């Protein structure tokens, strides 16, 4: 309430109740008191018509749209990216010369990246193999509280028009190579969050009722359109606090990028479309943030991408062309590091991770105790060159 009233002094109980009734504000009872997620105000800014007293500046899409146009005209976009990622134990945590410290920082992996180069890193850095489900640079040392890695990679974002009558498969020139063929895991339920619940089965039955099982492209399209049409963006609590993510999302109709991806993947698998997780960083020329998205497989076209978070945002802003783009494509502003959701690190973290499901900001373990986001400090910067 205080955050909102600082900008919107007239905001009172009636306005609060109205936002809750319209399901724009999520809340929980904690120790008998109504509590709101710390990032709830930023979620509200996405819906200016509901919060006339808050500053809701429109997002400048010019650079993003220019990249999408580049991909449509050339058939791809390619960038050389350098990232520097620093991860430190928080100042309130004691680290003496004998303290055992382990650290993991995400490192590039995935079919769309090549020419990966380790530029510089803290002493003792070990790089996980490219086949690691959540690839990292790892340290296992004593007495150190700060770690960094600087790396470069080339990323290619191919373009495929899945709305054309006869879509053409993307071309993967060396050193890039298409991802391996799907496995049974890409069609299976995964507890606790990618579960084929009765509710999700009923959604899938309605979605695919008139689409033949062999028409995987139309089934994937139906899943993408349903998710991006019916689910709105909302910042989420830590995933360790969420139950059955895909089912909860389909019921509540709200998600952040990872929840969007989980829901799309689960619906694809229910329709017989192989689908899998991919995540890492969203690396723009002027900023870096965390992001999650999905991959799905279509016979004859190979592995493609679906970014339902970006697709939902495009629908919210009335941009159908952009919404269509993110069914099949991503831009080159990505650093993929994670190929599986809820996968172990390499080597495995002996403690409970801050985020057991994903790895974007990095993980720390001090004397066998996992560090939360309150116990660590992280900084990520990047530079980018158009190729």
Strands 369-370 and 363-366: antiparallel
Tell me what pLDDT residue 250 has: 98
> Residue 177 pLDDT more than 90?
no
What is the C-alpha to C-alpha distance for residues 387 and 335, in angstroms, rounded to an integer? Answer: 16
What is the C-alpha to C-alpha distance for residues 136 and 338, in angstroms, rounded to an integer? Answer: 9
What is the C-alpha to C-alpha distance for residues 54 and 34, in angstroms, rounded to an integer? Answer: 22
Place of tokens 């054309």: 164
Is the bond preceding 175 in cis, omega lying within 30 degrees of 0?
Answer: yes
The ranges assigned to domains in the chain are 2-50, 60-387
Q: Helix or strand or coil: residue 194?
A: strand
Cα–Cα nearest to 330, from 302, 357, 298, 308: 308
> Would you state the structure tokens that stand for residue 208, as one six-digit string?
């695919």
Tell me what pLDDT residue 13 has: 85
Cα–Cα nearest to 150, from 83, 213, 56, 235: 83
| Paired residues of 277 in beta bridges | 294
Q: How far is CA 322 from CA 4, 106, 125, in A?
A: 31, 29, 40
Strands 126-127 and 100-106: unpaired
What is the C-alpha to C-alpha distance for residues 187 and 77, in angstroms, rounded to an integer? Answer: 30
Rounded to 5 degrees, what are φ and ψ at 280? Answer: 165, -120
Contact 185, 179 (CB under 8 A): no
Q: pLDDT for 237-274, tens place per residue?
A: 999 999 999 999 999 999 999 999 999 999 999 999 99
> Residue 276 pLDDT more than 80?
yes
Strands 254-255 and 232-233: parallel
pTM of the complete model beyond 0.75? yes
Tell me what pLDDT residue 42 has: 84
34 CB burial (10 A radius; 0-12, 13-18, 19+): exposed
What is the C-alpha to C-alpha distance for residues 365 and 95, in angstroms, rounded to an integer? Answer: 11
Cα–Cα nearest to 117, from 87, 147, 154, 86: 154
Selected residue with higher pLDDT from 210 and 56: 210
**Percent with pLDDT over 90 in the chain:** 81
Tell me what pLDDT residue 3 has: 83
Tell me what pLDDT residue 153 has: 98
Tell me what pLDDT residue 327 has: 99
- pLDDT band per the 50, 70, 90 thresholds, residue 2: confident
In the predicted model, what is the mean pLDDT of residues 130-138? Answer: 97
> Would you state the structure tokens that stand for residue 290, as one six-digit string?
């965390």
């Amino acid at each position: 309430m205080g955050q909102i009233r600082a900008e919107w002094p007239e905001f009172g109980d009636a306005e609060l109740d109205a936002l809750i009734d319209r399901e724009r504000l999520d809340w929980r009872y904690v120790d008998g008191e109504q509590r709101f997620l710390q990032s709830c105000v930023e979620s509200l800014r996405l819906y200016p018509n509901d919060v006339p007293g808050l500053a809701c500046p429109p997002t400048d899409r010019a650079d993003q749209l220019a990249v999408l146009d580049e991909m449509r005209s050339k058939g791809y976009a390619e960038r050389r990216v350098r990232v520097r990622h620093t991860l430190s134990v928080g100042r309130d945590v004691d680290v003496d010369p004998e303290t055992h410290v382990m650290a993991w920082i995400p490192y590039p992996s995935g079919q769309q990246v090549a020419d990966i180069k380790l530029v510089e890193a803290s002493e003792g850095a070990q790089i996980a193999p490219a086949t690691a489900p959540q690839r990292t640079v790892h340290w296992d040392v004593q007495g150190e509280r700060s770690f960094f890695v600087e790396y470069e990679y080339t990323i290619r974002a191919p373009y495929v028009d899945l709305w054309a009558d006869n879509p053409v498969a993307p071309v993967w020139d060396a050193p890039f190579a298409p991802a391996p063929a799907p496995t049974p895991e890409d069609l299976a339920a995964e507890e606790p969050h990618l579960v084929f619940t009765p509710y999700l089965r009923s959604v899938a039955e309605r979605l695919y009722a008139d689409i033949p099982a062999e028409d995987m492209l139309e089934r994937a399209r139906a899943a993408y359109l349903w998710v991006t049409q019916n689910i709105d963006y909302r910042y989420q609590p830590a995933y360790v606090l969420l139950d059955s993510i895909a089912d909860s999302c389909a019921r509540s109709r709200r998600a952040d990028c990872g929840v969007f991806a989980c829901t799309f993947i689960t619906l694809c698998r229910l329709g017989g479309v192989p689908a899998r997780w991919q995540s890492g960083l969203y690396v723009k020329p002027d900023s870096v943030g965390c992001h999650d998205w999905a991959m799905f497989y279509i016979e004859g076209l190979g592995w493609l991408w679906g970014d339902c978070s970006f697709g939902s945002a495009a629908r919210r802003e009335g941009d159908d062309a952009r919404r269509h783009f993110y069914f099949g494509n991503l831009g080159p502003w990505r650093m993929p590091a994670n190929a599986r959701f809820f996968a172990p690190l390499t080597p495995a973290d002996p403690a409970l991770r801050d985020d057991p499901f994903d790895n974007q900001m990095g993980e720390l373990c001090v004397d066998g105790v996992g560090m939360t986001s309150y116990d660590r400090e992280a900084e990520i910067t990047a530079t980018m060159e158009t190729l």
